[in-house]
Amino acid sequence: MRKKLALTMLAVLMSAGITFAQTSGTDPFIWLEARRSPRAMSWVKKQNAKTLPVLEKVPEYAPIHRQLLKIFASKQRIPFPEILGQYIYNFWQDTTHVRGIWRRTTLASYRTANPKWETVIDLDALAKKEHEDWVWKGATCLRPEDQLCMVALSRGGKDAVVWREFDTRSKAFVSHGFELPEAKSDVSWKDANTLWVGTNFGKGSLTTSGYPRIVKEWRRGEPLSAAKTVLEGSVKDVSDSIFSQHTPEGRYDIANKAHTFFKGETYLILGGRLVKLEIPDDAQFYGFFKNQMLLSLRSSWTTGGQTYPQGALLAIDLDRFLQGHRDFKMLFTPTERTSLDNVTWTRNHLLMTVLDNVHSRLYTLSIKDGTWRHKEIPLPGLGTARVVATSDLDDTFFTVYTDFLTPSTLYLSENGAAPEKVKAAPAFFDTSGMRVAQYEATSKDGTKIPYFVVMPRNFEANGKNPTILYGYGGFEVSLLPHYSATIGTAWLSRGGVYVLANIRGGGEFGPRWHRAALKKNRPKAFQDFIAVAEDLIARKITSPRYLGIMGGSNGGLLVGAVFTMRPDLFHAVACQVPLLDMRRYTKIGAGASWIAEYGNPDNPADWAYMKTWSPYQNVRKGVHYPRVFFYTSTADDRVGPAHARKMAAKMEAMGDPVYFYENTEGGHSSGANLKQTAHMWALTYAYFWKMLS
C-alpha cells in the first residue's frame, strides 16, 4: 500500500444597517452558492471583467507570465518517475501537450540525459476525440505486473472522476472493461478480474461528505448492479473503502471505515469475514511490510503492559498480533523537535523520512530474524527529502532533495548502493547573493513558532522590503523548504522577501503540533501567524505597508481569519480557493468531512467558538481592510467557489473593493493545464507587486 491521502450563515448586514438579531440567519449572498446558475455565473463574469484588465496591466504581469510559461513548459524540468513493473512512467505537460501525456521508458534509458519515451496515453488527443475537457488524475495499476490499470479522468479538474480500465501492454482502453461514470469513487484492484468499488450506487450510497459509504466486490463481466456488497458504513462517516495491498508475501484485503477525517476502524478481510484490527481509532495505518503491520500513533497508547508515545512508528508481526500478542517494536520515537514524516518501502527495505526541526532525514530499515536495523542516508543539505518512487520487484527507489535555493535533484538508489544523482532541475533564477534564515516567533501563549525567511540579494533590514508571508496550519500538513522556480522568478529575483511559517495545525512537529490548533483551539494557528508577522516587523525585515500574506484552501481560511482580525498588519492578501463561511461550510463541497478539524457549526457549542473567527461572519463595515485578491475555481468540488464569491460580494457591499478571479476549470488547484496555471500565478504576483512595491 502506498500512503493515501489522502489530501476539506448568520451574515451581519451592517451595510444595510440591519442588526445581528434582525437577520435571523438571512444570508443575502447565498445565491452565489449555486455553482453554475446563470445569475451566479453572470456575477463571476462581471467580477473577472473588472479584475483581469487591472492586474494584467501591472508592469510586472507580462514578463512574469512569459517566464512562467517557459518554466512550466521547459523540457529541462525533471520528469518525475513512477515505477510500474519493468518501466519508468511519467506524466508530462508542455506547450505541445497542454493537457499532457502519460509516457514510459526503461530504467536504463531514464538514466540518460535524453530518455527515449514511449507515449501510452495522449490526453490532448483523447480530449479532442471525445470532445471532453479531460484533466489527468492518475492511474491505479494491478501489482506487480502493472499491466492492467484503472485510469482516472476528470472533467475540468474536479475531484469527481470517470474511471476506465486501460491495458498498458496494448496501450488501449479495454473493450467492455471496467468503467465507472463520474463520481467521487474509490477503486482498488483485488485481482485481474475483480475490483473493490465504492461509488455513487444511487440514493443513500454516499456519506454526508459526498464520498462512498458502500463498497462492493465487482467481478469482470457482471453488471455493477450485481456486485456483492462487502462493506457498508454510516452516512455520518467521512468515507468507507476497501483496498488490496499486493506484496511478495501475499495479498492483504483491508477495509476502512473513516468515521472522521482522523479517526476510523480498520479491518482485514479473512475467510470472507471482516476482522477488526484492535488498534487506536486515530492511528495512521500504513499497511504491511514483510508481514509486519505498521502504524503510527496520533495519541499515546498503552497496550501489552507498555505505553507507546504519541508520534511513534510501531511494527508487529501480523500473525502474532492476530494471536493476541502486543509486543510492538518502536521503529521511530519522536522528540520535542523531531517527527515522522512518511513511510514507504521497496521489496526488502522500509524507507522512513523524519523531520528534524523542519529539515529532512532519510533512513532505510530492514528486518531479519525479528530484528530491525536502521541506516541513515546522508543528504546534501538542511532541506527536504522525499521518496518519489519505489519498486515492488527489487530495492530500487528514487529520492528528490530540495531547499529554497537548490533546484530539485533526483537520486537513484539500487539494491543498497549509495544514491546516484540522475536528474537535476535547471536553475531557473540566479540565487547569487540570496540567503535563507530560520527564526522563531513567540506566539500569544509563549509557544515558539519557527519560520523561514528567504532574502533577495542586496537585502537590508530597513522595514521596506516587499514581503510575502505564506502559511497553511491545518490537517497535519507540514510546510517544508523547497525550491520554487515560480517564487524565485516572480518574487525573489525581483527583490521580494519570501517567508514560510510553520504554525500549529500543521505536522512539522508531529500530531501534537496539529492537535494544538484543532476546533476550539483554532485561534492558536491564527495567533502563530500573527506572531510571525509581528516578528518580521520587529526584525525590520518588513513593515505593515510592505507585508502581504498568501494561503490556499485551509490556508485561505487562515489568511481570511487573520486579515479580519488584524487588518492593520497587512497591505495585501491573496486568498486562494478558500474556506471563509464557516457557518455553512459543511453544506458546501466536501465540507462535512472536515468537522473533526474545525467543529460542527450546527452544534451550538461548536458554533459558539467558530463564530468568533469565521471570516465571513467577522468582516465589518467601516473597517479599513487591505484590498484582497480572491482566487477560486468554478470546477472546485472540494471547497467550492461559494466561499470566495460570497466574501467578495459582502466586502464590496460594505464598500471595501476587492480583486476577484474565478477560473471556470482547474478544480481545487491552480489550473487545469499549464497555461491556466501560469496565468493564475502571474496574476497573483502582479497583484503583490501592485500592492507592495
Label each residue of 132-162 as H, E or C. CCEEEEEEEECCCCCCEEEEEEEECCCCCEE
Q: Say which of 65, 359, 514, 668 is annotated catalytic.
A: 668
Distance CA 283, CA 280 (A): 5
Q: In terms of DSSP H, where are the helices of 183-330? A: 318-322
- Predicted TM-score (pTM) above 0.75: yes
What pLDDT digit, counting tens, does each position of 320-347 carry? Answer: 999 999 999 999 999 999 999 999 999 9
Task: Name the residue among 249, 158, 159, 260 with its Cα closest to residue 208.
Answer: 260
* 668 noted as active-site residue: yes
Task: Name the residue with cell 483485488.
Answer: 190
In-domain check, residue 536:
yes
Per-residue pLDDT at 666: 80
Whether pLDDT at 595 is above 80 = yes
Question: Count of CB atoms within 10 A of residue 250's CB?
Answer: 9
In-domain check, residue 572:
yes
In-domain check, residue 157:
no
Total residue length of the chain = 693
Distance CA 316, CA 370 (A): 9
What is the widest separation between alpha-carbon atoms in the chain?
75
* 493 noted as active-site residue: no
Percent of the chain with pLDDT over 70: 96
Per-residue pLDDT at 405: 97
In-domain check, residue 278:
no
Question: Count of CB atoms within 10 A of residue 660's CB?
Answer: 24
Cβ neighbourhood burial of 41 (10 Å; 0-12, 13-18, 19+): middle
Classify residue 516 by its DSSP letter.
Answer: T
Phi, psi of 70 (to 5 degrees): -65, -40
Distance CA 479, CA 528 (A): 14
Give the residue-averaged pLDDT of 122-141.
97
In-domain check, residue 108:
no
Give the residue-averaged pLDDT of 128-153.
97
Q: What is the dihedral of CA 263, 264, 267, 272, to 10 degrees?
A: -160
Give the residue-averaged pLDDT of 212-217.
98
Mean pLDDT of the chain: 95
Give the residue numbers spanning the domain of 614: 42-68+445-692
Task: Name the residue with cell 519508468.
Answer: 88
CATH assignment of the domain containing 476: 3.40.50.1820
In-domain check, residue 234:
no
- Please give the helix or strand (H or E) that residue 635 lies within, else none: none
Relative to beta strand 467-470, strand 497-501 is parallel
Distance CA 577, CA 575 (A): 7
Task: Name the residue among 251, 244, 193 with its Cα closest to residue 219.
Answer: 193
What pLDDT digit, counting tens, does each position of 381-405 carry? Answer: 999 999 999 999 999 999 999 999 9
Task: Name the residue among 572, 648, 585, 577 with its Cα closest to residue 613.
Answer: 585
In-domain check, residue 302:
no
Whether pLDDT at 473 is above 70 = yes
Confidence of residue 2 (pLDDT cuts 50, 70, 90): very low
Whether pLDDT at 21 is above 60 = no
Q: Say which of 408, 553, 614, 633 is annotated catalytic.
A: 553
Distance CA 114, CA 426 (A): 15
Per-residue pLDDT at 670: 72
Classify residue 652 by its DSSP letter.
Answer: H
Distance CA 83, CA 395 (A): 11
Per-residue pLDDT at 142: 98
In-domain check, residue 292:
no
Give the residue-averaged pLDDT of 38-43.
98
What pLDDT digit, counting tens, does each position of 410-469 carry? Answer: 999 998 788 999 999 999 999 999 999 999 999 999 999 999 999 999 999 999 999 999
Domains in the chain, number: 1
Distance CA 488, CA 413 (A): 30
Per-residue pLDDT at 25: 59
Dihedral sign from CA coordinates of 308, 313, 319, 322: positive
Instruction: Establish whether the linkage from the previous residue to 144 is cis, with ω within 30° of 0.
Output: yes
